Amino acid sequence: MIELDDQQQAARGWFESLRDRICATFESIEREAGSNAAFEYIAWDRADPSGEPGGGGVRGVMKGEVFEKVGVNVSTVGGTFEGEFGKTIHGAGEDPRFFATGISLVAHMANPHVPAVHMNTRFLATTRRWFGGGADLNPPLPTPEDTEDFHATLKAACDAHDPEYYPRFKAWADEYFYIPHRKVHRGVGGIFYDHLEGDFAANLAFTRDIGEAFLDVYPRIVRRRMGMPFTDADIARRNAWRGRYAEFNLVYDRGTLFGLKTGGNIDAILMSLPPVATWD
């Protein structure tokens, strides 16, 4: 196991505790639907090219009646970037050593009226230290109520720290979660931030509040929509939208590339892919 300093341990501890609370909440939603589905957890270890301990993580996946497939992963890894990839990472151009810890979540829902969702927050250390992440909502059948609720909750979390955060990070999400070859956004947006550095305590507090906001708003949206009736046409729309989601994650997503380039667990990296998708 890699050795952690106080900041690294604090970040890791938060991400793991958030994972536990999210998974417990999602399992409780399955119980409300009459399902006994539960998360299956699989630990994995990473081999660093340097020969030193490379850390690892835990992949958690649940397949239920409400959550057709949801993955909640935590990882804590470190070592040395290989080749030219390190030069693309903030603060690693001259020194390829790195540390990263974070939580990554993707939920694909059975009912097309329940939006899919992505949430990821992370802490990285190279010659610099910073937080990044965000959350975005991906409904096959968007509704203004859900979109407004999701954004309002994230805005409140941002505003508690800096009134400039929400407009800045919302615009960043709109730019990032876009599929250029389709000329469409991946969903109805959210927030995205990166390279948030300087005051560790303040930035950890902000990252914690984003996790709390997600845990507040997304289960509320799921419970609001999970009992709605749907048609075969709605399922077809859901599956086609999932195809767009898969395209983004395989072609453009930074987290996918980071995991692959740093020797992460393949199943954990690709847990973001939906169980069923279609392309016309």
In this structure, the number of other CB atoms found within 10 A of the CB of residue 96 comes to: 19
| H-run or E-run covering 199 | none
Q: Where are the domains of the chain?
A: 6-272
pLDDT of residue 271: 84
pLDDT of residue 170: 98
pLDDT of residue 1: 67
| H-run or E-run covering 218 | helix 200-225
Catalytic residue among 90, 108, 113, 118: 118
Given strand 129-138, what is the order of strands in its sheet? 40-47, 53-62, 67-80, 97-109, 116-125, 129-138, 189-196
Q: What are phi and psi of 21, to 5 degrees?
A: -70, -40
pLDDT digits over 182-222, tens only? 999 999 999 999 999 999 999 999 999 999 999 999 999 99
pLDDT digits over 132-184, tens only? 999 999 999 999 999 999 999 999 999 999 999 999 999 999 999 999 999 99
> What is the C-alpha to C-alpha distance for residues 158 and 166, in angstroms, rounded to an integer?
5
Question: Average model confidence (pLDDT) for the chain?
Answer: 94
pLDDT of residue 266: 86
Q: 251 is written with which tokens? A: 């072609």
pTM for the structure as a whole: 0.94
Catalytic residue status for 118 = yes
Third-level CATH fold of 6-272: oxygen-dependent coproporphyrinogen oxidase (3.40.1500)
